Amino acid sequence: MEALVVLEPNHFEIQQVPVPTPGPNEVLARVRAVSICGTDAHLIRGDYPGFWPPAFPFIPGHEWAGEIVALGPGAGGYGWAVGDRVAGTSHDACGVCQKCVEGRYNLCENYGRPGLHKQYGHNVQGADATYVVQGVKTIFRLPDGLSFEEGAIIDPASIGLHVAVRGGVRPGDTVVVTGGGAIGLLAGDSARALGAGRVIVVEKNPGRLARAAELGFEIVDPAAGDPVAIVRDRTAGLGVDVVLECAGVPVTVNWALGMLRRGGRCAAVGIPVVGVEIAMQRLVLDELELVGSRASAGEMRRVMPLVEQGRVRLREIMTHRFALADYGQALATFNDPESGAIKIVIVP
């Protein structure tokens, strides 16, 4: 089969490799669409040495959709059949640790332990290929009304919903989203689906800011002035109920905390690559809440009806499509802040 093989940091090729064989409780799926995630770009650059991936060569990719073409031993007992249309996610957790038992499999306490946990496209081979093998815990039935390209964005949509849930968004809340990339816009839609009265997107990239406006969000351009002051001015000086921090840079984390009203809550899904200094005094005295949000934990199934209803919009954030053979061009487009890229879909 054709696959994107990363040989070493910043060096990848499209190669012919053997089609993998599904093991017990696994399926082999034909990948019909796979999208590029920011983690893919970091992994290809070698930003997580020895962790993601544990070693090279490596096939990345974890946001995908396709159809089942073969079943491993036992997989049929879970109701799967050849020809089923599925969307995949990455965490194949152990299922028996305390966090898994509590339904928080994204926090599996056996993360990365061989035989107990896999994260496809991170610490085991991924879906940037013609075929992929994944466990039955990580595939979800794709509704007939959704295309494979939409299916490839169900995983990031579930992450957007998870961060909104972690933010505790309630009906009538005023919500700020810092970062207008794919996760930020999907989180904004998810906040609306949970009942937010207002959603404000803070983004410096002109193309992404324009797309946020087209999607009906209020927007704040940091180039126009201090975004904290602008948001507070729009909320009669009070601040907002919830901030969903989707940018992952130190300045946006501090903006997020500065925008909260007393008792407000910030859920952070963006991952800064350096340390962040925060105003602990205000965190304590105003009883602010700052919580992390990792991947998703059950939201794959829950986000699909929202997508079918048009309440979480996927096609509106798809900006580019490439063949797998053109992955180099696709990645360059993804990494170019002037390209207008939000979500790029690869078709093997």
Q: Which residues are catalytic?
A: 39, 42
119 Cβ contact list (under 8 Å, min separation 6): 62, 90, 91, 92, 111, 112
Q: Which of 192, 257, 182, 255 is nearest to 218 (CA)?
A: 192
Alpha carbon of 338 to those of 112, 113, 333: distances in Å? 36, 40, 9
**Whole-angstrom distance, CA of residue 85 vs CA of residue 205:** 36
**Whole-angstrom distance, CA of residue 12 vs CA of residue 44:** 8
CA angle at 312 for the pair 30 and 158, rounded to the nearest 5°: 55
CA torsion angle for 208, 209, 213, 218 (degrees, to 10)?
130
**Whole-angstrom distance, CA of residue 224 vs CA of residue 97:** 49
